[in-house]
Structure 1
Amino acid sequence: MKKKTAYLLLPALAGLLVGFAPASLHFPEATTPTAALPNRAPLAAPAVQGWFFRAVSGYPAAIAFEPVVLFENGEYYEVGEEPLESLNVPQSKSKRPMAWGTWQLKGQTYLLTNYKKQLSDYQLGSGNWFPAYAYTGAVKLKKGYEKVSGGNYGNGTNALSISKINFPDATHFTEGFNAGISTPNAAAGRTRNANGTYKLHGNTLELTYSDGRVVKKSFALGAKGAPARPTADIIFIGGDAYTDTE
């Protein structure tokens, strides 16, 4: 199994996804991430129009991917740790106002206006906007995934963190975390490991740790090809992009 570095993987992944053909906003039932639920609680998330992920620039990394949900009421949400099934909308807007905004579809262009009233435009097939999918069992997870972040922050400061999660079979997982930082005068690092069992349904990943803790996280499959189709080469856990290590 050959590891990929973040610097090689992201450009290659972006190149792979650029060829997407435009797709309708209404997904087939088999791959629709979240259907509208009857008798929804007033604080729950609105009915979902579709899941996507977009390319964003950041520091110090040049490019990253983040999942976005478009709601039928014209709002959008930058997906975070919490799954939509347990999202308290007023509380989320209070704690993470920057994650919320509004959207419109003009022709083939998605217009997203963030909480600062700044407008961004995206198009399927342009290399910056891609469909994301719920887990249905049709696409099997890979054995291992990782998320790499960090870089050179200037003034001799370098940091690197690697998060890994492995799915050796259909019910068990292991995860690990390694992080380090160095400056001209000092260096430090830490590691963390855990394991347990998991359940995956729709856009929710439920992890039951060996110490008894149960944690639910948002989840989505990425996409590839033209026309776009679900893939397990890239997945989104808790709002973060993980790429396979196979």
Structure 2
Amino acid sequence: MDKLSVLGLIIALGAIAIGYSLEGGVVSALFNGPALIIVLGGTLGAVMLQTATSTFKKTLSMSHWVFFTPNYDIEKAIEQIKSWSHKARQEGYLALENEALSHPDPYAAKGLSLLVDGCSEQKLRDTLEIDLMLERDRLLESSKVYEAMGGYSPTIGILGAVLGLIQAMSFITDPQKLGAGVATAFIATIYGVGLANLLFLPMANKLRQRVEQKMLYHEMMAEGVIAISLGESPLNIELKLEAYRTERPNVVVE
């Protein structure tokens, strides 16, 4: 679990609740079912309207990356690449066929398969770079979905406030009910702005960060496989991949 994400959300919500209480407000008054339905439903519907089905499903499947981040040991990955290099130098590229078939990461498995098939260094590099670029673009679409939700949410909140005011005007002759109705109407605006800035936009930025971490991992795997194709020694490969080790000790994989 990403404790920083959880802690940040708790601090943000807690600060708002405590500050509102210190001003004399009642926190329970901020909970309003109809307003929440309008904001969440309207935001979700607008995003679904503009998003492809495959992208929307991918976004849902990636959402847990924000709070639950599987870590991958780069140190272990470098040692694995070194062992591949050692085996390839001793037994040839065909000795890596079982590794290509059993590796859990499809990107690394494809690189090994191309290596076993005897692709040239340039073809291997071009193929892996294209795959890396396309994968980055595909995964970043998920962060854009949350960005869109952060954009729609405040506007839908204002829409909810207007609808609430329209309803409140029906109590124009009853000042007590009118005041309560107006207060309730503005809760929709709070939901819209709050969800955008406390949840949707931060989630978009965190997902973007996770995607870049995963791309860094795949970039390292590509450099390792390409180095093997050039016949470099395990020691030289380790030195080449040293920068990945020092910059990001742990990164995300899907």
Q: TM-score, normalised by structure 2?
A: 0.18
Kindly indicate whether structure 1 or structure 2 has the higher relative contact order, using CA contacts under 8 Å at least 6 residues apart.
2
Structure (1/2) with the larger helix percentage: 2
Q: Normalized per residue, which structure has more strand?
A: 1
